Amino acid sequence: MQRAEMRIANRREQMGQVATMVEEFGARCAIPGSIVNDLNVVLDEMLINTISYGYPEGQQAEIVVRLSFDAGRVEAEIEDDASAFNPLEAAPSGLGLSLRERKVGGVGILFVRNLMDEVAYSRVDGRNHLRLVKHLPAT
């Protein structure tokens, strides 16, 4: 099993480091580029929401991003101490509306659900754990 872990501050400018880690991990494990791209999209979406909405203004915190690869599946986990929020309980907003009528936000989790094969959330000891799994196509 291959693993990687990174700890970032809860600041948007740190997110580029996560993308670099995902790219390097994908190359090291020979993960197809399309799956690396999917991971980067979902991690970017979930991290931006955590950073933007999970902490009071100015609060400094650390977010942990873990990757693992084994037996034809890649798993990403985000762990943080932001406000409790289960993204799987959030209903996409305004999907039946035109772009002009739709409120900003609410479709990110739809991207995550569509791009990943498994998505799981838990809250343990005051920390959010979001697990994202993508299965590699059989070769």
Residue 93 binned pLDDT confidence (cut-offs 50, 70, 90): low
With respect to CATH, is domain 2-135 assigned 3.30.565.10? Answer: yes
Nearby residues of 67 by Cβ (< 8 Å), 6 or more positions away: 3, 4, 5, 21, 22, 25, 39, 74, 75, 76, 77
Which letter, b or e, does each residue of 93-121 get, where b requires 16 or more Cβ atoms within 10 Å of its Cβ? eeeeeeeeeeeeeeebbebbbebbeebee
The predicted-structure confidence for 28-84, as pLDDT tens digits, reads as follows 999 999 999 999 999 999 999 999 999 998 899 999 999 999 989 999 999 999 999
pTM: 0.87
Give me the pLDDT at residue 101, please: 52
Sheet containing 62-70, strands listed edge to edge, beginning at the edge strand earlier in sequence:
2-9, 62-70, 73-80, 127-135, 118-124
